[in-house]
Structure 1
Amino acid sequence: MIHIAICDDESALVDSLKELIRQYGLEKSVEIKITVYYDGLELIEKYDTTIDLIFLDIQMKLLDGLRTAKQLRKLDEGVGIIFLTTLTQYGLEGYKYQALDYIIKPLKYARLKSELDRFLSRRQKEESPFIVVNNDSGKYKILLNSLRYVETFNRNLLFYSEQENIICYKSMKEVAQELAPHGFVRCHSGCLVNLSYVKGVKKLEISLITGETLTISQPKRKEFMEQLTEYWGDRL
């Protein structure tokens, strides 16, 4: 199933786009869930991390599409965004928020079909595993290929990702079990590191490709090195 969101303050356009998306789903035999938001602020406040693609109007009253996209990238760096606009220059500006494309209003089915075909093809090739993190400020979808390491922090966990550092209330044991199949290994009791970011290990210090360094405990070193060697061996 694909979860598509429409964020536009024009109800007539929303209804039209919903019908076109449903038509596409029937033609392609693809199950599509559609969620509608009538303003960027509503989308941000009620964001659902299961959303795969967002049709986002650029010109809205309370929170315009460009500012909405900027906030969206803090919540979900992987969700697809296609801007809806009447002015080409606004669509081009949207590319700095990693938008897939933009569609000039009024919408034509042929263009919509082309965009959805391209999105589905890319999704099949590039779909990345992720973890969903909840805390008091909201819910965040973190792609695992952007997560460098997880560290204990004031009785909670702190996720160090490319989008930002995010607090998580799960236990280290729970997160370690969840991420173990994806190349994450403990370097000490309070730190879980993504092996794809490891550049090298010297004595009790791990160097990451980002320039950061982490400590490895003596009791964990042997097991860590064995798993790192196995991980590198699979990729050499």
Structure 2
Amino acid sequence: MNSITAIIADDEPLLRHHLDKSLSEVWPDLEIVATCGDGKQALEKIVQYTPDIVFLDIRMPELDGMAVAKQLVQLEQQPLVVFVTAFDQYAINAFEQNALDYLLKPINEERLEHCCQKLQQHLHAKSNKQAPDINHLLAQISQLTPKQQQYLRWIKAAQGDDIHLISTNDVLYFKAEEKYVSIYTDESEYLIRTPIKELLQQLDPDLFWKIHRSTVVRVAAIDKVTKDFTGRMYVKMAGHKLAVSRAQQGLFKGM
């Protein structure tokens, strides 16, 4: 019997690693034949390996997940698609009936186990039922994607008497400090008055994670995650060491 194969496509290396590691724990027999960092590479690997399953991030450079899924319809042997997304639960309900399954970021292990069980049942059933209608699913998702344009790209922040325009791509992390929130970059530190809770609602959840009640980090800036002898977890980035609350350690489970 041939093994079940899968491809993971996500532009964040940390998230690719996390999903790969978690899948190896909840579905040891699943063979990950490739991991990809953009949609163009994902499509090439799908054509090359003809996997049974593709874990497909909706937002990626080159080709986004929606564009990749649309092209999969043209393949003679279509893989089962599991969308990986930062859409909230309410938004997911609008199209979940038309996808085989979906995973919300950050990925919960119990939810991943449920997803894998659903995939296995579908693959083992070998019924004549048609696969979920990808075109219908994409039409549903396209109604939700304008929300993505509302996320902050630039932040006005103070440094002394000067006002600076900071790109969110340059941010390492945000830290709440009494009445202010400090913005840390590679080069300097800035201040804004926006409460951290309000700020978090304006940041792309694909790119920024809350690791502590007072700390939000840019995921791509993380160098590594460590634990001390007490089990306390820390994120390290560009010379900074930031504590991860116990409640948020699940973000890095299995890494």
User: Which band: TM-score by shorter chain?
Assistant: 0.3 to 0.5
TM-score by length of 1: 0.47
Q: Greater helix share, 1 or 2?
A: 1
Which has more radius of gyration?
1
Relative contact order, CA 8 A, sep 6+: which one is greater? 2
Normalised by the length of structure 2, the TM-score is 0.44
